[in-house]
Chain A
Amino acid sequence: MPYTLLIVDDSKLARMAAAKALKNLYSDWERVEAANGDEAISLVRETPFDIAVLDFNMPGRDGLQLAAEILALRPSTPLAIVSANHQAEIVAQAKGIGAEFLTKPLNEQALGAFLEGAVRRLEQAKA
């Protein structure tokens, strides 16, 4: 079944690239976008979505802080943190809160693998 993906990135180009990858992978899915943590939190409260990909290095809250807040509001949402900053501490913190770490620039293959796992988790939760 089609799901809705939340894309949070302060770069419009990065959001467009993620949207393009999503369209190629799952053309029937919906997407919602936010340019920062505040926008994302408002969206999370008002708009239904199933899975989220969050940029790490953003003004205000970083992706990890945002991920923790999203999980507090909507536990067990499949999440990925996206960054070129693959320092061990950041990757470990992402794993620690149950998020996947994806490398920037985000490619279709990596997004596809994450979404596949996310769909499996969502289907299992429903079963």
Chain B
Amino acid sequence: MSAMPPDLLSELQLDALTELVNIGVSRAAASLREMVGAQVHLSVPMVSLETRGRAIAILSEREASNLVAVHQVFEGDIAGRALLIFPETKSLELVRAITGGDLPLEDIIELEQEALAETGNILLNSCLATIANMLHRSLKMSLPEVLRGNAATFFSLAPPPEAGDFVMFLFINFAVRERDISGYIAMIMDLPSLTALVHLLDEFIERATGDAVSSGDDRA
């Protein structure tokens, strides 16, 4: 967490955000389980908040190969982009896991785009809808779009944000039918959206615990 922009999220706010994301991803796993007909094993998600430049550096360092992303735009009190990202080499594995049977390679390649978009849609919608519901706000989501490229292309999509932007990084490992598929969920928000998110997190913490949160306390 050392690379987190200073003074942006307190320890408890980051804990609350991680818990919201955890609940969202857990619900998504239950939806995916229905889709694939087999248990989906999830790792504990790790959430951190990074500047865009740092997020590109982290992802490039961890994943040297080409990447594939499912991208959706969200709008509302908080606005930004959500991306489900994984190595391109894993994307056919994911499709195999979802389709289950022994489909020939050409069929798997044909289904790839659709299966990726649908998986991304389920995971991203579940995360964002859970966050929105628990923060008592509504978010409008665009249709999923499959992109190929690298960290720099995914985190520099046009139009660029007007105010300094941050990336909420979520690393998660999920396995289906003995296939290990690890991926990242990233949410890119500009500073006004992030500020709005921090206020909504404080309200959420207050509702959950019954304690008013002093935003100056307990900075991580």
Contacts and interface: CB of A to CB of B under 8 A. Distances in A.
Interface stretch (A11-19, A43-51, A118-126): A11-19
A33 interface: no
A117 B15 CA distance: 31
B12 interface: yes
Q: Do most interface residues of chain B lie in helix, strand or loop, or is the interface mixed?
A: helix
Interface string B3-28: 00000000110011011001110110
Interface in A54-69: 56-59
Nearest to B134: A105
B210 interface: yes
Given A57-B42, A59-B44, A84 B210 contact: no
Nearest to A57: B44
Contacts of A89: 33, 39
A88 interface: yes
Contacts of B24: 84
B9 to A, nearest CB: 13
Interface in A2-44: 10-14, 16-17, 19-20
B29 interface: yes
B2 interface: no
Contacts of A87: 29-30, 33, 39-40
B26 A85 contact: yes
Contact of A11 (B22, B27, B30, B134): B22
Contacts of B12: 12-13
Given A10-B44, A13-B12, A105-B134, A84 B22 contact: yes
A108 B24 CA distance: 20
A31 B53 CA distance: 44
Contacts of B210: 20
Nearest to A19: B209
Given A83-B26, A85-B30, A87-B39, A13 B16 contact: yes
Nearest to B210: A20
Contacts of B15: 11-13
A86 interface: yes
20 contacts: A11-B15, A11-B16, A11-B22, A12-B11, A13-B19, A13-B205, A13-B209, A14-B19, A20-B210, A56-B26, A59-B44, A83-B26, A84-B22, A84-B23, A84-B27, A84-B30, A85-B30, A88-B33, A104-B26, A105-B208
